[in-house]
Amino acid sequence: MGALTKRIEHWIRPSVRTLRAYHVADAGNMIKLDAMENPNIWPGELEQAWLQALGAVQINRYPDARAQELKDALRTYMDIPASLDIMLGNGSDELIQLLQLAVGGPGRKVLAPTPSFVMYEMIAAAVGMEFVAVSLRDSFDLDAHAMCVAIEEHQPALVFIAWPNNPTGNLFDTQALEAVIEASPGLVVIDEAYQPFSKKTWMSRLDQYDNLLVMRTLSKMGMAGLRLGVLAGKRAWLQEFEKIRLPYNINSLTQTGAAFVLEHQGLIGGQIEQICVERQRVIEALQAIAGVKVYPSHTNFILFRVENADTVFMRLKQSGILVKNLNGVSAALDSCLRVTIGLCKENDAFLSALVQAA
């Protein structure tokens, strides 16, 4: 073993060494339907106005550490009650990390249903927390009984619930979630990354529970490149988290750029509606393909099962279409693929390639 390898093995924590970095596929020139992005761009004159607003940003200065203007715009846009505080992250990924850093420590655990968003588990490993996974039912519904038993046994500091769930696309039953919140001794984070497409939220119920937080992101509604995650909750909790948030985590271009976009609600709303219409069309088309099983979706993506996901994935790639291959991720996702809703013509290209590939 070389001296460098020895040094690395000595100093890098074993829990980090055994991790595999989050894999982001290189889409090259392919039609990119793997990452739940909004495929639409803006009309030219709006883009010009946006660029002008960005041009006025003084990048020699640090950003507004409190990002007050952006928070005000988000409060209005997301209907965040005045009684609650808002904390921002460099994407909701950063908020997931920050929450775990705040509650982590020897013996502390994070719990989430599985399959769900992989970062809950990856970040737990990175910050040295034990991760407890509770299987969803075969239908991908939340198993409220199994969740409550596991919560009782493990006393998790944090429970993450993606609502709607990624990668399954469904919304868990509200009563099952109420049972989980009531059974949890620690915090429950409802991750509403796909709320623009489900239109359902727990935001208005935050006041009701002492241990509830709601997380959102601008990524899926068309601003993935800006990296902005939003956490809403009771002031007493958020004041604690603020102590470990890096002071300038939201850069000036994001603050100005996102606030500008939020002023154009009509445009975002129109794009979301169009994605929802396309979602229904793609679901129906998938249902008509022999050998394809489609799962219901309240998101901007669709989970479907084919006979041989690896082969279909490769064939789609050869046709210039990149989806997400979930085969092998967990037994529950055997032979599953996930496709993000793209532009009408992109969805058509995907569907006709799939007819050939499946």
Instruction: Record the tokens describing residue 162, joined without a space.
Output: 């993606």
CA distance 40 to 47: 12
Smallest distance, ligand PMP to C-beta of residue 240, A: 21
**Considering beta carbons, is residue 168 or 327 the nearer one to ligand PMP?**
168
**SS3 state at 239:** helix
Does 217 engage in binding with ligand PMP (CB under 6 A)? yes
**Considering beta carbons, is residue 90 or 285 the nearer one to ligand PMP?**
90
Does 166 engage in binding with ligand PMP (CB under 6 A)? yes
Does 193 engage in binding with ligand PMP (CB under 6 A)? yes
- Residue 217 burial (CB < 10 Å; 0-12/13-18/19+)? buried
Contacts of 58 by beta carbon, 8 Å cutoff, 6+ apart? 252
Q: Applying CB under 6 A, which of residues 39, 91, 196, 257 lies at the interface with ligand PMP?
A: 91
Contacts of 344 by beta carbon, 8 Å cutoff, 6+ apart? 278
Does 162 engage in binding with ligand PMP (CB under 6 A)? yes
**Considering beta carbons, is residue 193 or 357 the nearer one to ligand PMP?**
193
Does 231 engage in binding with ligand PMP (CB under 6 A)? no
Where would I find the beta strands (DSSP E) of 94-157? 109-114, 130-135
Strand order in 158-162's β-sheet?
85-89, 229-233, 212-217, 187-191, 158-162, 109-114, 130-135
Q: DSSP 3-state helix, strand, coil percentages of the chain (rounded to 5)?
A: 45, 15, 40
Does 170 engage in binding with ligand PMP (CB under 6 A)? no
**SS3 state at 262:** helix
Smallest distance, ligand PMP to C-beta of residue 352, A: 27
Nearest to ligand PMP by Cβ — which residue? 91
Does 219 engage in binding with ligand PMP (CB under 6 A)? yes
Q: Applying CB under 6 A, which of residues 34, 37, 191, 346 lies at the interface with ligand PMP?
A: 191
Candidate ranges 4-12, 46-54, 216-224, 246-254; the one touching ligand PMP (CB under 6 A): 216-224
**Considering beta carbons, is residue 92 or 254 the nearer one to ligand PMP?**
92
In this structure, which amino acid lies at residue 1? Answer: M
Does 93 engage in binding with ligand PMP (CB under 6 A)? yes
Smallest distance, ligand PMP to C-beta of residue 58, A: 26
CA distance 116 to 111: 11
| Ramachandran sector of residue 239 (left: φ over 0; alpha: ψ -120 to 50; beta: rest) | alpha
Smallest distance, ligand PMP to C-beta of residue 49, A: 25
Candidate ranges 76-84, 89-97, 263-271, 285-293; the one touching ligand PMP (CB under 6 A): 89-97
Does 117 engage in binding with ligand PMP (CB under 6 A)? yes
Rg (CA), the chain: 21
Per rule CB under 6 A, count of chain residues that contact ligand PMP: 13
Does 169 engage in binding with ligand PMP (CB under 6 A)? no
Positions touching ligand PMP (CB under 6 A) are 36, 91-93, 117, 162, 166, 191, 193, 217, 219, 224, 229
